[in-house]
Structure 1
């Protein structure tokens, strides 16, 4: 998959002579609704003998017109993961655009001329609520008005799950509510994060449950505080594990939040390795125990729960 990084105003030599079908959107999460947009674009590209391309942005468009708090600046899928998913869905080329005030300040016709016609799009696909500028008419309903009949406009209808629209905000809310199963259903795959294993306080090792302390990007949206069942991949191999998102409240009321993962039946030094984490299920909330013995007993119960989960879902660990 080719990735073309763009900045507006575009350089004179930027464009495309070959026919493309363009899927447009920010695609945070690349959830079931986004996948429907991408599948429709891929199908149309195959039908027309065109390249299947995506126009997406380097950060959330809201950053240019409102002040966001630290939590709002986080994303469900960071750059590497989003590109990996695009490639897995058959995208030929991604136009990765710097979303700035100047970009947003284009008129509707300027946007169409610069980012659709210039790239020789024969069809454009986006969700029903997709916008491409700062005015009330920069939407899919009005897009044909600016096309001069040179490209087809395909508007994807909302995808629903349990009679409610699939959306990135709904997934974020599910993660905030520790509802991993719902988040995974909305995504059509397990929610994924990744990070480097760094040195921690090594309390778990003393309790008989050594943990990998995983350092995540501050831009990564994560599940809320709690104990979870996860699948991890390290050095190309998958393992079942327990993950703790929390502050180690049994030992102190002032510790920072950490992501600690106890990989079952695993005894290797993985400091410095990148751990890929697929979040599967919530076990329980974080609890402050009176003694370390109580904590150890609970960790054993969590382990039994996790092993039972794997027995019920043996397919979650690939044997290949």
Structure 2
């Protein structure tokens, strides 16, 4: 559908809406503050179509991505269904079919932007195709501690259990969201009931270990301190898939089954180990709880937020 007014258009995959994406959006808004900012993004991840099986785990699903973009000031999100047909478009076809109908006055992209069949289009191509029709603003890549901020850098930090490093690139703690499922209820029997969130295939999560963080019930604003385990529970060896298990400190009265919750990761406490007795397991959980309490004491209010910085 043709847009009746001029717009500023930002293009990208925007998985995670990290600091690099946030910088691009801020510069897009600065180009023409009086114009609506429209984001063009793609779903599913292009690699799932270009080379099926090589697509990376997602930092955010599509609704969360749109929510983050909207909170960053985007007026409209145009989602392009990435199919084999779209993959075969020439750069000219992409401009004609996707961009021109948005009536762009300015198009904003990262310096590494490519588009069209076999990534034949570059920023220079976009400028050439826009001669007399729109301007192109190129944004340099963002760096944190001399590391280029990108979705891959965030995924690697998470895989390494470095949730603090991931947060530096995201501009906020990494969040895993899901519906609380019933587990074996061993935590309840041990005095530490947990909210169990199976990690869905194709979604990123921190590497196996124990973390300090926050749990927020969807629709509520209070972030509750939580000790979080990620993994397959090596002590009992009967969990076939990775699960995020969050124990809200000092709360045994919560009934979260069937509710959507958000778990924000602040710091890693330790790796997962196999315990050979319940006494040693309970003792270690108690230590984890106290370590969580200590770490979060100075972090109140830092989590429970999905709004980009």
Q: Give the TM-score category using the shorter length.
A: over 0.9
Alignment of 1:135-214 (within 5 A): 135=118, 137-214=120-197
Q: Which residue of 2 aligns with 1:60?
A: 45
Aligned with residue 24 of structure 2, among 25, 31, 37: 37
Deviation at 1:183, TM superposition (A): 0.1
> Which contiguous aligned blocks of 4+ residues in structure 1 show a shift greater than 4 angstroms?
none
The alpha-carbon distance between structure 1 residues 184 and 53, as it changes in their structure 2 partners (threshold 3 A), is same
Q: Is 1:289 matched up with 2:272?
A: no
TM-score relative to the length of structure 1 = 0.90
Equivalent residue number for residue 229 of structure 2: 244
Asked if the contact 1:248/1:255 (under 8 Å) is kept, the reply is no
Aligned residue runs from structure 1 range 227-266, under 5 A: 227-234=210-217, 236=220, 237-252=222-237, 255-266=240-251
Q: Deviations over 1:7-64 (max 9, x none)?
A: xxxxxxx221210110000011111111111111111231xx3211000011111122
The yes-or-no answer on 1:92 pairing with 2:75 is yes
C-alpha separation between the residues in 2 aligned to 1:192 and 1:317?
A: 9
Aligned 1:9-24 pairs, distance under 5 A: 14-24=1-11
Unaligned runs of 5+ in 2: 305-309
**Number of equivalenced pairs:** 301
Matched, 1:276 2:262: yes
TM-score, normalized by length of structure 2? Answer: 0.93
Structure 1 unaligned segments of length 5 or more: list them: 1-13
CA distance in structure 2 between the aligned counterparts of 1:208 and 1:82, rounded to whole angstroms: 36
CA distance in 2, matches of 1:314, 1:28: 27
Q: Can you list the C-alpha shifts for 1:70-104, whole angstroms capped at 9, x where unaligned?
A: xx452001112111111111111111110112112
CA distance in 2, matches of 1:288, 1:40: 49
- C-alpha change, 1:95 and 1:209, in structure 2 (3 Å) is same
Aligned residue for 2:141, secondary structure, equals: coil
Distance 1:136 1:226 in 2: 38
The answer (yes or no) to whether the contact 1:197–1:274 under 8 Å persists in 2 is yes
| Alignment partner, residue 11 of structure 1 | none
Partner of residue 13 from structure 2, selected from 26, 33, 38 = 26
